[in-house]
Amino acid sequence: MQKRTHIVLSLCILILSFSQVFAQGRKEAAPIPAANLTHKYLRFIKHKRVALVVNQTSSIQQKHIVDSLLILGIDIKKIFCPEHGFRGNADAGENVSSSIDSITNIPLISLYGKHKKPDTADLKDIDIVLFDVQDVGVRFYTYLSTLHYVMEACAENDVQLLVLDRPNPNADYIDGPVLKPEFSSFVGLHPVPIVYGMTIAEYAKMINGEHWLANGVRCKLQIVKNAAYNHQRNYTVPINPSPNLQDQEAIRLYPSICLFEGTVISVGRGTYAPFKTIGHPSFKDKYEYSFQPISINGMSKEPPYKNEVCYGIFLPNLGDSIFTDKKIHLKPLIEFYNTFEDQSKFFNSFFDKLAGTDELRKQIIAGMSEDAIRASWAMELEQFKSIRKKYLLYP
């Protein structure tokens, strides 16, 4: 009886996969993440010892990819977890420990904290690593760095990497300063702009093709593409990619507002509108809007200015253009810098890592306008677009 149930469930998953493809013929068909197209990648992982790089976003429809692959008889040996953990409920920057998954009994190996890269012991009994994580198309989102180190480890240990692509909700524009090598860190490893207009699989191709892995090694990379997708198609992420990106508005604002994490300004962590809310306790006489960060389990346990009233801006009040304009918005950053009383304390050491350069900070301090700052990016953005073009999988 149990075997029959297993076969029925396996058939259901495969039928669902094919039905997704048939739906492409309809004009209204939404982009289909590669994970849903199981018929396209099962042959790569069948009868192999598989490790997964996944988190809470790694789903096939409403079912986690781990559960679906186990039903299909895939031999999952271990699960590697990026920042925020396997279930996606660890705070930003919070250390994620390795453990055993209580539901499947599969070992969970953290790739955040001191152990950012799989080692030889992690990969000694693995034939192929499958990477399926929802990205948001922003350089300082750390899933990119996890991808880099997984690719590097696979290359060094002669293990194949299979990347299941997912649509990028910020793929429709390219903007921001290009990272300079001296500012490379886990929140930005590569010379790309803040918003780079590529899916995670396209980015993996670029890492390989530009020889960005240590010692110029190349990863044996296999990619499964999204269906019914191009870079200009709107895509609403069905599962929050991290605890404080709670909706599509926050995801669209993230490239602009995360820069405030390198300042004294709160980005609304400890509220139910993070990355849509910005402010500071000292702005009481300058802004009417207020919010009070509190400890919220699963989102932010110890937010900046916990239990203090902050005053500032609720960004959706600025109008739809702040979500639809295809650019990084610098005006709020410039305004808050000019508003803050002790400007020498406005920026912290994290800002230059997020910006990928010290020029943006210096430009704001010098009083440059948003248009002038943007013009200073133009040449490097054009150079990046030429590199990017070589690795695109979609129109």
Write the CB contacts of 205 (distance below 8 Å, at least 6 apart in sequence).
Answer: 221, 223, 391, 393
Domains of the chain (ranges, CATH numbers): 2-237 (3.40.50.12170), 248-357 (no CATH)
Structure confidence at residue 29 as a pLDDT band (50, 70, 90):
confident
Render pLDDT for 116-142 as a digit per residue (tens, 0 to 9): 999 999 999 999 999 999 999 999 999
Mean pLDDT of 248-256: 97
Phi and psi at 69, nearest 5°, equal -70, -35
Q: Cα 345 to the chain's mean position, in Å?
A: 29
Q: Is the pLDDT of residue 5 over 50?
A: no
Render pLDDT for 359-369 as a digit per residue (tens, 0 to 9): 999 999 999 99
Roughly how many angstroms between the first and final C-alpha of the chain, as a whole number? 47
Q: Is the pLDDT of residue 272 over 50?
A: yes
79-88 core/surface letters (b: 16 or more CB in 10 A; e: else): bbbbbbbbeb
Q: Taking the CB of residue 25, how many other CB atoms lie within 10 A of it?
A: 8
Residue 20 φ/ψ region, left for φ over 0, alpha for ψ in the -120 to 50 degree band, beta for the rest:
alpha
Residue with tokens 């990119």: 144
Q: Which two tokens stand for residue 290?
A: 């207020």
Q: Is the pLDDT of residue 229 over 80?
A: yes
